[in-house]
Chains A and B, each alone.
Chain A
Amino acid sequence: MISLSEVVMDSDLAEAFTILRSRGWFELGGWKTWSENVCGYGIITVSSDQDLQMIPEGDRISGAMTFHSYERIYETQLDGGYGQQSYGDNGFDCDNKNKYGHSEQHVSDQIQWRGQLYRVISIAPWRDFGYWRAIGVRMSGR
């Protein structure tokens, strides 16, 4: 298959962003996470304009961006998605297990770009073409 990763990472079009990845586990009291930052680089386009919502409690701004990335971006997954062997890997990830024999779980990545956080809500399965396309919605109040 044709790899479009060179296009996605074309320096004339691409921008840097940060992927905040939350691994987690279930504990007494609820879902606990710890996050780490992964560098992302790719073309960013507008998916949905930023709209102002005026509600009695205060203004909110909604909107969504599309991120094209060579670095893998994840949605919420239970029992799999990535492990230590496949973490950050753009290649094939068949077993979804880490070396400890139990799967890791995580919630959707957050992407930080130009001071705003975007929560990933949709990922297109285009890894065979050498990149990931994710849609992130703007997170307010963060």
Chain B
Amino acid sequence: MNITYPDGTQLTSTALTDQQIESAFQLATAQMLGILTYPIPSQNLNVLPPSLVSWFTAYPPVAWTTQLTITNGLEISTVNSTTNLYPGLLIAGVGIPNFTFITGISGNTVMLSNPATASGPVTASVIDLKAYEKVRIGWQIQGQPGPPIAEDTVTLRYEPVDTEYSKLRDAVGTSVGIVYTTTDVFTRTGRIYWTFYGPNGLDRARAVRSALITVQQFADLLAISNLYINPSIEEPRRVPENFQGEWWERIDLVAEFNEQVTETYTVGTVLTVPVTVYDSSGELESFTVEV
């Protein structure tokens, strides 16, 4: 965020917005749960801190491809293996029209939503457009569809926390020419709340907790955004909800994290000072001092 104050002082802050923090944890959670999240459409990257984009360079995502044999004009193809294939996946490859989805699987036969435009063996990319349906962000302005009772989903949300650390600031002043700059580096503390629904919620919450504590890869991922998880994370809480005559399995997980924030204040310095000297008889002299 950049702000210009009435006196011309400019504030530049690296503090992430709540949406950026939630997006970073949404991505990390999806990866911690093994949900394939590649590729991220380029238009979505603008919700992330720019540095996070480099994550995909540092940790290339696993290519999720499948081998299939297509026949020109037919919506039926054969695959060598149906592992990781299920209806609803977007499938893309030579001879497969754009926006083609898998509509059904029977044995080694896969039904596509569009007829192929070529024949022969094809290496196709498979994308789960519903990946983020399984890892969601709460408090959406217009609401959002709720999860079905039998589907494993997690919704996360962020809130800042007041701590002793967030009150301490390390301020360093520097002056270059007529520009004086104060750089404040401080720690901001926040909490991420995960709410897991679905029959495997407890196991998934445990997996996220373990990954946050022990897997360096995810510490590195969050560090790109200046986010650092406090490894003292309590065990998940199991709190099933009674809704409309059914018990919904619900698991709550909370983790604290610190964010390193740098705020820079740029202040214009005084160039000239007008001086006027008076005595009892009135003005004696008036001049300007240049600094």
Consensus secondary structure, chain A interface = strand
B84 within 8 A of A: no
Let me know if B130 and A107 touch, CB within 8 A.
no
Let me know if A28 and B47 touch, CB within 8 A.
yes
Let me know if A27 and B44 touch, CB within 8 A.
yes
Contact of B130 among A24, A26, A29 (CB under 8 A): A26
Report A's interface with B, CB cutoff 8 A. Answer: 22, 24-31, 33, 76-79, 99-102, 105-108
Report B's interface with A, CB cutoff 8 A. Answer: 19, 22-23, 26-27, 37, 40-41, 44, 47-48, 87-88, 99, 101-104, 111, 113, 129-130, 132-133, 136-137, 140, 142-148
Let me know if A79 and B148 touch, CB within 8 A.
yes
Let me know if A28 and B103 touch, CB within 8 A.
no
Given contacts A100-B103, A101-B103, contact A30 B87 (CB under 8 A): no
The 3 A-B pairs at the shortest CB distance, nearest first, are namely A101-B103, A78-B145, A29-B47
Let me know if B133 and A100 touch, CB within 8 A.
no
Let me know if B47 and A102 touch, CB within 8 A.
no
Let me know if B143 and A102 touch, CB within 8 A.
no
Contact of B140 among A31, A100, A105, A106 (CB under 8 A): A31
The closest CB in chain B to the CB of A31 belongs to B144
Let me know if A100 and B113 touch, CB within 8 A.
yes
26 contacts between A and B (CB under 8 A): A25-B133, A27-B44, A27-B132, A28-B27, A28-B37, A28-B48, A29-B22, A30-B136, A31-B137, A31-B140, A31-B142, A31-B143, A33-B142, A78-B146, A78-B148, A79-B145, A79-B148, A100-B99, A100-B101, A100-B103, A101-B101, A101-B111, A102-B87, A102-B130, A107-B142, A107-B143
